[in-house]
Amino acid sequence: MEIELATGVMLDADGAPASFDWRGELFLTSSRPVRWYSRSLWWQHAGQAEVGQGRNLVETEMWRLWAASTTGRYFFQLRHQLPEDSWEIEEATG
Amino acid sequence: MGFSHLNVSSAFSAHYGVNRPEQLAAAASAMGSSGLAITDRDGLYGAVKHIGACISVGISPIVGVNLKITGEQDLGRVVILAHGHNRGLGWATLCRIVSLATSRKGRKKETSLSIRELASFFEDQANCTILLGLESSLSRLVLKEPGQAKELCEFWKEQFPTPGSLAIEVVNHMTEPGLIGSTKHARAMLDLAAATGISAVITNAVRYIEPDGALTADVLDSARHLEPLGLFEPQPNAQAWLKPVSKIAALALEVTEDTKRSMTLIENTEQLASNCFLDPEQDCGWNQPKTPEKSALGITGNPFEVLWQKTHSAINWRYPEIKAAELATVQHQLSKELISVNKLGFSTYFLTVADVAQMIRDMRIRISARGSGAGSLINYLLGISGVDPVAEGLLFERFLSTERSTLPDIDIDVESARRHEIYRAIFRRYGGNRVTLLSMQSTYRGRGAVRDGGLALGLEDEQIDEIAKNMWRFSARNFRTELNQKPELAEFSKLTETDRKLNLLVDITQRLDRLPRHISMHPCGVILGDSSLLDLTPTEPSGMGLPMSQFDKDDMDPMGFLKLDVLGVRMQSAMAYTVKEIKRVKQVDLDLDRVDKDDPAVYKMIRTTNTLGLFQIESPGQRELTGKHQPTKFNDLTMQISLFRPGPMKGNMIKPYLDGRHGFIEPDYMHRDLRDILEESYGVVVFHEQLMRIMKVMTGCTLARADEMRRQLGKPAKAQGVATYFKKAAAARGYSQQVIDKVWSVLEGFGSFGFCKAHGAAFAVPTYHSAWLKTHYPTEFISGLLTHDPGMYPRRLLLAEARRLGVKLLGIDVNRSTNEYLVEKHDGDVAVRVSLSEIAGISKPEVERIICEQPFQNVTDFYLRARPSRRTLEKLALVGALDAVAGIQGEAAVHNRSDLLVKIRQLAAKAAPKLDANQLSFDLKNLDQLPVGNAPITKELELESELAITKMDITRHQIEKFQQMLDEMGVVRAGELIGIRSNTEVLVAGVRVATQTPPMRSGKRVVFISLDDGTGLADATFFDEAQRRCSNLLFQNKLLLISGKTRRTGVRGVSVLAENAWDLRQLWQQWQQRAS
């Protein structure tokens, strides 16, 4: 399954997504976003683990929020991938 | 707003925490914390280092422990924090809690405490606070079963009714909402605290300083679980880091969703922290030396007066016929030392060590001091050391200085075989409340790190073994760099380019380097304190059963603990055994400590360079030095032992010393004032003591100050200050600029190269004793060496040395041999009987049965009563151990060993008959008939059996068999080399007994080979070209023929500059073919 990305992500002062584009529409965050951190199983894919790389290999910033566009309101779980700084949409339910 | 982290695991939480206490304290100080806790798992292993680090960065130390608590249900882990500023009540309670929790450690039991046991420490007042946090059972219930969680809180409160005993720990690790460690979970814990009236604090349950450390923590988790990553539940994310107060405040706000409540939470935390701030001096006895009470030492009155009395009354014992002038010197020196000791308040310390030394001597165990302690006259008079510091020119100030206030180290050497006996006696004498053993932490080095890294990644054992095998002499933290440089790692390096996991392995191996791995008993340290010792250090069971402190040797000074190093030395056991055998066989009572130290026969023996078996001077290098040096007096031994050390060798001191000694060069004393100081070493500055005296003479400083400056010389930052002082002060005393510059240029380079003369002199005592025994009682001495196996050579070389000395050797005999090498009366003389234990594969019970059942009437009797295994029986027969009992010794014997072998094979083929008293005599008669007519075993085969079964050629030297060929070839015997001119072409042959490839300054490898041919040792040196001709032979073959040129290195020094080498067996085959 192809991973869908949220693009044009604008952040608020706390680093939470305030707005982003998905499937050609602009979404505005409409609930208080909840940040949490998940972990990844780095030993399955990493080719190195130099000092300084540990955090990005071990954990990922995750956001849970409601956001609305002109067509509807969705619950999103976003995965903020570093160091690429990309926003993967892990879940989007209307 | 102040904030201190209250839950922090350091690297001393083995296989859990990532950073060392020093790093954590520095980080906490840098982020502006007022204090910092260390709460390691299952012990206070890092506590002293933590306190020291906090003091040095200026924050307040807090100490706690993370312990598993059991009850009717599993209560999980809690953190217990000691309260401070209560005159040690909190610290002592914590130590006792930890000691109790770890007392069942080992025997597969883990460290834990029942809640009842824990509660018993809180009965009257709360000297500690228990934190119920993420790892407690409360944490598992709070979201799923809030009702049960509340009940559990009430249960804890019932058990710990004293106010201040409990707190609930709020931890927001921002895990997935709803899981343990999530904001929601933290909020539930906070609400629970509010609902039950237990106070709440916020911590971050820290495992690493930076989030980067989380990866290392993953690997440590794997090592703890003993499972590869992926096979156990890993930590949820990388949030357990040492967050600054701003982040903690944000987390608190997220949990409370209320500014005021979040402020209160942090204030409560800091309130508890400040209750727990330790006052290192008042609470832990920081830097205050502690010694057993007078009553424990059996003294009354002022300890200094007792010390004064004891030392003065010992003058007569140590200096029986002293002249008035010398007596004045001794008394003056003693007064000086006593004044220093009194000033430092160390009288009790010296009395304690003297008491231990006396106790060891009363146990009739040999003892000698090592190290700088030999420089003290007090130590000599108290019998702690056996070296007369006045006669040997040693300095007390090198040992104890009024400029330092830490307890000095007095190390004593004892018989290794009786070391544990001594530890037990010390516990008995001073009581288990005043004594514990010392522990040490082993840390990850290259191989261990790569093994645990490999385990984490799930690599195959064989692959890890292969990599680990090639990791030589470098620390894991340089793995990546070494990979590209070390030829033995080239293959692995190439693999890392394509194999993802192997490349990953390099990085995680580097991360593990130097982290503590596990605790074990220190090989020689004993801590002696007063009756409050167990309030000051937690203990746990050691491998030998006695309790050991959880603190290591570096923690001793800060804690003010008296540490005694009681080191087991096998040579002392060998000498004690020798003395015992002399007494048993010759009824001579020998006190080695009283033998004449100027016996010319002893030095004559040493000068032959046949120093095999002598303490400290038997290595090939020391033998060569003996040949050049030719010692004639005790101080020469001190000199020789001191010169052959890494420092003096690197400082290139040996050659100028020898040149001066043999008159090749005129010694340069640099100035007439220094002549007295440098005369013994012909102008070369070898000893720390010499440097101190030079400083004193030329600058007028005290010896104590001189020793301080000597220490500073080794530190580049401080050396400049010493230079300035020296030049100025020496000039002021009228020394010319030229002399000052010259002397300084010598002192400047001396820093790390010199040696402590007291240490050399302390070692020279057992060296002399062993030489004395070898000279006057060679048979008994050889038996001692063989029994206790000290030294660096194989046992068979000691047999060769015995034969060379004319010491008679008697083969193994089941009627006479025991588990030791006994001295036996034999043909009006004495001889050494080889021990049963040398039979390969013989079991301890077999040996014990043989000793118990001796003597045996005949082979069958032996077989029935000693009940050896079939293999052992056959081996005993093959080495001739049954010859006597079978009556096949001597010319007149009807039967031979082949007949015996046939017989025992018959015996062993059937199941051993039951021992039945009625049948016994009948059976014996029947069974004891030896067959006849089997072809006798050749002498050559007999010797081969001996070598195969005992690894020794007992009956004769294995080179004898080749003698005819060697004579024909004109091979020179090792003992004859000394009579041959230098630069003569020679052939030498023998058994290779030592191969050394010491690192050379040039970087080129040189191979030193020692061959034994029964007349002594021939030492050959192989340089590059010669190595290329025969290098594989040099490391593999036991029997060698070497060609080369003789090279005289001194009066009795000669070695062979090798050109080529051959396999002796191969030559033998060719020679035999030609002969036939």
Three-class DSSP labels, B491-503: HHHHHHHHCHHHH
Contact status of A32 with chain B (Cβ, < 8 Å): no
User: Which residues have CB under 8 Å from B945's CB, separation 6+?
Assistant: B878, B879
Chain B residues touching A62 at Cβ < 8 A = 176
Cα B985 from Cα B988, distance rounded (Å): 10
Q: Residue A42: closest CA among chain B residues belongs to which residue?
A: B215
HEC readout, B768-785? HHHHHHHHHCHHHHHHHH
Helices B419-430 and B347-362 cross at an angle (nearest 10°) of 130
Cα A42 from Cα B235, distance rounded (Å): 13
Cα B171 from Cα B187, distance rounded (Å): 9
Rounded to a whole number of angstroms, the distance from the CA of A22 to the nearest CA of chain B is 24
Q: Do B457 and A35 touch (CB under 8 A)?
A: no
pTM of this structure: 0.85
Contact status of A59 with chain B (Cβ, < 8 Å): yes
β partners of residue B41: B66
Side-chain-side CA neighbours of residue B44 (13 Å)? 33
Contact status of A73 with chain B (Cβ, < 8 Å): no
Q: Residue B213: closest CA among chain A residues belongs to which residue?
A: A54
Of A36, A49, A59, nearest to B238 by CB-CB distance is: A59
Cα B682 from Cα B663, distance rounded (Å): 10
Q: Do A49 and B504 touch (CB under 8 A)?
A: yes
Short-list B272, B269, B130, B274, CA closest to B204: B269
Q: With left for phi above 0 and alpha for psi between -120 and 50, is residue B106 left, alpha or beta?
A: left
Percent helix, strand, coil in chain B, to 5, is 50, 15, 35
Find the Cα–Cα–Cα–Cα dihedral B595, B597, B602, B603, rounded to 10°.
180
Q: Do A37 and B457 touch (CB under 8 A)?
A: no
Rounded to a whole number of angstroms, the distance from the CA of A82 to the nearest CA of chain B is 14
pLDDT < 50 stretches in chain B:
917-927
Q: Do A39 and B215 touch (CB under 8 A)?
A: no
Q: Do B238 and A54 touch (CB under 8 A)?
A: yes
| Contact yes or no for B315/B590 (Cβ under 8 A) | no
Contact status of A15 with chain B (Cβ, < 8 Å): no
Q: Do A58 and B176 touch (CB under 8 A)?
A: no
Chain A residues touching B511 at Cβ < 8 A = 49, 51
Q: Do A47 and B236 touch (CB under 8 A)?
A: no
Rounded to a whole number of angstroms, the distance from the CA of A1 to the nearest CA of chain B is 24
Residue owning tokens 């018959």 = B906
Q: Residue A59: closest CA among chain B residues belongs to which residue?
A: B237
Residue B629: in which H helix or E strand, if any? helix B620-629
Rounded to a whole number of angstroms, the distance from the CA of A45 to the nearest CA of chain B is 8
Rounded to a whole number of angstroms, the distance from the CA of B175 to the nearest CA of chain A is 5
CB pairs under 8 A between A and B: 86
State phi, psi for A29 to the nearest 5 degrees: -65, 135
Cα B621 from Cα B1020, distance rounded (Å): 12
Contact status of A47 with chain B (Cβ, < 8 Å): yes
Locate B523 and state its tokens. Answer: 């090989």
Q: List domains and CATH numbers for chain B.
A: 21-284 (3.20.20.140), 294-434+525-571 (no CATH), 445-514 (1.10.10), 594-765 (no CATH), 807-950 (no CATH), 958-1075 (2.40.50.140)
Give B955-1000 pLDDT, tens digit per residue.
889 999 899 999 999 999 998 998 899 899 999 999 998 888 776 6
**Which of A32, A38, A43, A61 should be substituted to probe chain B, the one whose Cβ sees the most B Cβ atoms within 10 Å?**
A43
pLDDT < 70 stretches in chain A:
1
**Which of A14, A32, A36 should be substituted to probe chain B, the one whose Cβ sees the most B Cβ atoms within 10 Å?**
A36
Cα B883 from Cα B873, distance rounded (Å): 12
Chain A residues touching B508 at Cβ < 8 A = 49
Of B183, B214, B507, nearest to A59 by CB-CB distance is: B214
Rounded to a whole number of angstroms, the distance from the CA of A89 to the nearest CA of chain B is 16
Q: Rg of chain A over CA atoms, in angstroms?
A: 14
DSSP at B651: T
Structure confidence at residue B104 (pLDDT) = 79
Rounded to a whole number of angstroms, the distance from the CA of A47 to the nearest CA of chain B is 5
Strands (E), B34-116: 35-41, 60-70, 74-82, 113-114
Find the Cα–Cα–Cα–Cα dihedral B775, B776, B780, B785, rounded to 10°.
-30
- Beta B1039-1048 vs B1054-1063: how paired, if at all? antiparallel
Instruction: Report CA B344 to chain centroid distance, whole Å.
Output: 30
Amino acid found at B515: L
| Number of Cβ within a 10 Å radius of residue B808 | 16
Q: Do A51 and B235 touch (CB under 8 A)?
A: no
DSSP at B935: P
User: Which residues have CB under 8 Å from B1009's CB, separation 6+?
Assistant: B992, B994, B995, B1019, B1020, B1021, B1022, B1034, B1040, B1042, B1058, B1061
